[in-house]
């Protein structure tokens, strides 16, 4: 279930120039890389996982092409949530 607490909101522009609003559900680190679990403001049932890349002019989100890595990250997130349930 989606937690309605206030979360960080970011704007993401897709490859077609369309801007969407996302809530940052979690930031995860694996193998010295950072990943963001995001939920669209208009679709609270689905989440996407993207890699955060730092550049001189800001941070960028990049899709993850490796399904194995995605599964590992989501499994780690689930373990963390189970170990520390929200109030």
- pLDDT tens column, 55-84: 999 888 999 999 999 999 999 889 988 888
Per the prediction, the chain carries an average pLDDT of 85
Give residue 41's domain range.
Answer: 9-83
3 domain residue, yes or no: no
Q: What is the pLDDT of residues 44-55, one digit of tens each?
A: 778 889 999 999
1 domain residue, yes or no: no
78 domain residue, yes or no: yes
28 domain residue, yes or no: yes
Confidence grade of residue 1 (pLDDT, cut at 50, 70, 90): very low
Confidence at residue 15, expressed as pLDDT on a 0 to 100 scale: 81
Long-range contact list for 7-13, CB < 8 A, 24+ apart? 9/41, 10/38, 12/38, 12/61
Count of structural domains, the chain: 1
């Amino acid at each position: 279930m989606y937690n309605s607490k206030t979360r960080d909101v970011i704007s993401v522009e897709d490859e077609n120039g369309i801007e969407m609003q996302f809530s940052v559900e979690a930031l995860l680190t694996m193998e010295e890389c950072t990943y963001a679990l995001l939920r669209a403001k208009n679709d609270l049932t689905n989440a996407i996982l993207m890699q955060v890349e730092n550049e001189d002019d800001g941070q960028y989100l990049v899709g993850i092409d490796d399904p194995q890595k995605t599964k590992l990250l989501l499994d780690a997130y689930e373990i963390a949530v189970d170990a520390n349930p929200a109030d």
